[in-house]
Amino acid sequence: TQLLEQSPQFLSIQEGENLTVYCNSSSVFSSLQWYRQEPGEGPVLLVTVVTGGEVKKLKRLTFQFGDARKDSSLHITAAQPGDTGLYLCAGRDDKIIFGKGTRLHILP
* Choice from 16, 18, 26, 41 touching another protein (CB under 8 A): 41
- Supply φ then ψ for residue 54, to 5 degrees: -65, 140
* Choice from 2, 24, 31, 62 touching another protein (CB under 8 A): 31
Q: Does the protein bind another protein through residue 40 (CB under 8 A)? A: yes
Q: Does the protein bind another protein through residue 96 (CB under 8 A)? A: yes
How far are the Cα atoms of 17, 63, 74 from residue 57, in angstroms, in the given order?
18, 6, 10
How big is the chain, counted in residues?
108
Q: Does the protein bind another protein through residue 58 (CB under 8 A)? A: no
* Choice from 2, 11, 19, 48 touching another protein (CB under 8 A): 48
Helices (H) and strands (E) in the chain, counts: 0, 11
How many of the other CB atoms lie within 10 Å of CB of 96? Answer: 12
Cα-based torsion angle of the residue sequence 69, 76, 55, 3 in order, rounded to the nearest 10 degrees: 10
Q: Does the protein bind another protein through residue 2 (CB under 8 A)? A: no
* Choice from 1, 14, 95, 108 touching another protein (CB under 8 A): 95
* Choice from 66, 85, 91, 99 touching another protein (CB under 8 A): 99
Give me the residues that bind another protein (CB under 8 A), please: 31, 40-45, 48, 88, 95-101
